[in-house]
């Protein structure tokens, strides 16, 4: 990018990977109120979350109102919710994860055409975390993909429009499928006591569900689909309520009662914990102009998928460049441990990162938070690949650990007003997940084998 370095939108940060650069102006929180109107949909759990449980703030996600604060700041706020999540059990209203169903004789073929991973390897009554990319290799969505039947897939979508895109993909291709949003609303039960809660509400059989496994069940006479999945890094489950506009409250009430019986509460989705687990948030950490190789998702691009899929040619070209020792992007995501006062709430800006030697702005933080176990601020953020010793992969190598940057925090978090704090590159995840990803599990197994050999 070019322009006056004094420009308030910080053109000195190289965003040449993007057509539409992120707005890096540090404008802070203007303290505006959220307008509740009929242009944004209310989820089936809206009355429970806001009117009864007292959610005091929200955002808009997939054109639905989404609770983002249950405990008031004077009572501990988000960090009190973190304590409940990591020590007890919590209930989340995640009806914003709209369920886009692809159903019909060609459901597997269409799904395999739009995801990078191999849909034929997903057995009925199982799921998998997947990404969908555009022809330029940009990440359009990163849903949990469920397969409740041989000819049926549910895309539990993150915050971007997917249904119309899937319908558009099928124009002229004539896959024999129906593509539509269905009246299914999920809730998450997350935390170390989540299995105890689930046994109370659906029975002992839930203990036999494998990670990303599915189970049909009834709660209070209502049909639900249960999965062992979640957005926290803690042990957790999701309950997908069928005919949600009729059944949502009939399912919510006994589940919340069981959560409270085990000392838990409803909380907002645990972004503080998912950051520690290295779980990405679409729209915040990545979007349609982000390659999976920039954000630790290169494992989602297989070497052995024979079937064609959208974005395959470009993603394979990027992989070849990486294998040839060339990193094809200006910026790369890393984990950071940061100094400063504890960050105990959402950041209103992409806080700027600068080079400690030159002082030049060179990157930005996407997801920061205080981690009480590590007793430090942690963050995900983009930094120049050229500043890293070994960027030639989607991972961060040991050689990059402790590489220093400076982060420009607001004065309320800074050690000295107006002065940036020191930050060092750190391993992701910062805190291990209860159910590590296949790649993380392979690393753990390799580490155990090395220790055994020693």
CA-CA distances (angstroms) from residue 86 to 69, 89, 258, 272, 318? 17, 7, 17, 11, 38
- Three-state SS string across the chain, please? CCCCCCCCCCCCCCCCCCCCCCCCCCCCCCCCCCCCCCCCECCCCHHHHHHHCCCCEEEEECCEEEEEECCCHHHCHHHHHHHHHHHCCEEEECCCCCEEEEECCCHHHHHHHHECCCHHHCCCCEEEECCEECCCCCEEECCEEEEEECCEEEEECCCCCCHHHHHHHCCCCCCCCEEEECCEEEEEEECCCHHHHHHHHHCHHHHHCCCCEEEEEEECCEEEEEECCCCCCCCEEEEEEECHHHHHHHHHHHHHHHHHHCCCEECCCCHHHHHHCCCCCECCCECCCCCHHHCCCHHHCCCCCCCCCCCHHHHHHHHHHHHCCCCCCCEEEEEEEECCCCCCCCCCCCCEEECCCCCCEEEEEEEEEEECCCCEEEEEEEEEHHHCCCCCCCCCCHHHCCCEEEECCCCCCCCCCCCCEEEEEECCCCCCCCCCCHHHHHHHHHHHHHHHHC
- Average pLDDT of the residues of the chain: 93
pLDDT of 453 over the 70 cut: no
Q: Residue 311 contacts by C-beta under 8 Å, 6 or more apart in sequence?
A: 116, 133, 134, 135, 136, 137, 138
Q: What percent of the chain has pLDDT over 90?
A: 87
Look at residue 400 in the predicted model and tell me its pLDDT. Answer: 83
CA atoms within 13 A on the CB side of 443: 13
Band (325; pLDDT cuts 50, 70, 90)? confident
The more confident residue out of 452 and 322 is: 322
Look at residue 11 in the predicted model and tell me its pLDDT. Answer: 78
pLDDT tens, position by position, 170-205: 999 989 999 999 999 999 999 999 999 999 999 999
Look at residue 9 in the predicted model and tell me its pLDDT. Answer: 79
Length of the chain: 454
Q: Which of 239-243, 332-336, 434-438 has the lowest mean pLDDT?
A: 434-438
Look at residue 441 in the predicted model and tell me its pLDDT. Answer: 59
Q: What percent of the chain has pLDDT over 70?
A: 92
Mean pLDDT of 157-168: 95
Q: How far apart are CA 104 and CA 93, in angstroms?
A: 30
pLDDT of 396 over the 80 cut: no
pLDDT of 275 over the 60 cut: yes
- Phi, psi angle pair for 21, to nearest 5°: -60, 150
Could you tell me if 422 and 445 are in contact, meaning their C-beta atoms sit under 8 angstroms apart?
Answer: no
Mean pLDDT of 359-384: 97
Q: Encoding tokens for residue 381?
A: 């953020």
pLDDT tens, position by position, 397-441: 677 888 999 999 999 999 999 999 999 999 999 998 887 765 565
Look at residue 108 in the predicted model and tell me its pLDDT. Answer: 98
Query: What domains are defined for the chain?
Result: 1-33+330-454 (2.40.30.110), 184-263 (3.30.1360.120)
The more confident residue out of 156 and 388 is: 156
Cα four-point dihedral sign 196, 213, 107, 136: positive
pLDDT tens, position by position, 286-324: 999 999 999 999 999 999 999 999 999 999 999 999 988
pLDDT tens, position by position, 1-44: 344 456 677 778 999 999 999 999 999 999 999 999 999 999 99
Mean pLDDT of 114-138: 98
Look at residue 245 in the predicted model and tell me its pLDDT. Answer: 97
Look at residue 309 in the predicted model and tell me its pLDDT. Answer: 98
pLDDT tens, position by position, 253-274: 999 999 999 999 999 999 999 9
Note the pTM of the prediction, 2 decimals.
Answer: 0.94
| 163 CB burial (10 A radius; 0-12, 13-18, 19+) | middle
Q: How far apart are CA 156 and CA 52, in angstroms?
A: 26
Look at residue 446 in the predicted model and tell me its pLDDT. Answer: 55
Look at residue 4 in the predicted model and tell me its pLDDT. Answer: 47
């Amino acid at each position: 990018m070019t322009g006056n370095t004094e420009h308030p939108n910080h053109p000195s940060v190289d965003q040449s990977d993007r057509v539409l650069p992120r707005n890096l102006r540090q404008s802070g929180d203007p303290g505006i109120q959220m307008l509740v109107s009929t242009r944004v949909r209310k989820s089936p759990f809206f009355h429970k979350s806001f009117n009864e449980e007292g959610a005091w703030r929200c955002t808009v996600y997939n054109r639905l109102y989404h609770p983002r604060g249950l405990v008031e700041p004077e009572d501990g706020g988000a960090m009190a919710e973190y304590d409940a999540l990591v020590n007890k059990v919590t209930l989340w209203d995640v009806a914003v994860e709209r369920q886009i169903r692809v159903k019909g004789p060609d459901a597997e073929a269409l799904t395999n055409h739009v995801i990078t991973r191999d849909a034929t390897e997903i057995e009925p009554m199982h799921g998998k975390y997947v990404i969908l990319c555009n022809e330029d290799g940009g990440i359009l969505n990163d849903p949990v993909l469920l397969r409740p039947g041989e000819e049926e897939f549910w895309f539990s979508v993150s915050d971007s429009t997917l249904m119309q895109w899937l319908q558009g993909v099928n124009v002229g291709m004539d896959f024999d499928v129906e593509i539509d949003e269905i009246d299914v609303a999920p809730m998450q039960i997350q935390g170390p006591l989540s299995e105890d809660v689930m046994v109370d509400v659906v029975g002992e059989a839930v203990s036999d569900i494998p990670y990303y496994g599915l189970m049909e069940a009834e709660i209070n006479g209502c049909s639900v689909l249960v999965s062992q999945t979640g957005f926290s890094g803690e042990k957790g489950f999701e309950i997908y309520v069928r005919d949600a506009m009729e059944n949502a409250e009939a399912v919510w009430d006994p589940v919340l009662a069981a959560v409270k019986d085990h000392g838990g509460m409803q909380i907002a989705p645990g972004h503080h914990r998912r950051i520690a687990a290295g779980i990405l948030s679409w729209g915040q950490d990545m979007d349609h102009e982000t390659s999976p190789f920039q954000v630790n998702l290169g494992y989602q691009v297989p070497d052995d998928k024979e079937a064609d899929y959208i974005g395959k040619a470009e993603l394979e070209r990027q992989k070849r460049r990486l294998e040839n020792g060339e990193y094809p992007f200006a910026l790369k995501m890393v984990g950071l441990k940061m100094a400063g006062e504890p960050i105990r709430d959402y950041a209103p800006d992409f806080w700027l990162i600068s080079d400690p030697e030159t002082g030049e702005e060179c990157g930005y933080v996407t997801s920061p938070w205080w981690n009480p176990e590590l007793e430090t601020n942690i963050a995900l953020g983009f930094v120049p690949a050229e500043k890293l010793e070994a960027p030639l992969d989607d991972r961060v190598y040991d050689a990059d650990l402790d590489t220093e940057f400076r982060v420009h925090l607001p004065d309320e978090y800074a050690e000295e007003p107006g002065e940036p704090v020191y930050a060092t590159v750190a391993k992701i995840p910062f805190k291990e997940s209860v159910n590590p990803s296949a790649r993380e599990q392979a690393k753990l197994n390799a580490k155990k084998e090395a220790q055994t050999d020693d």
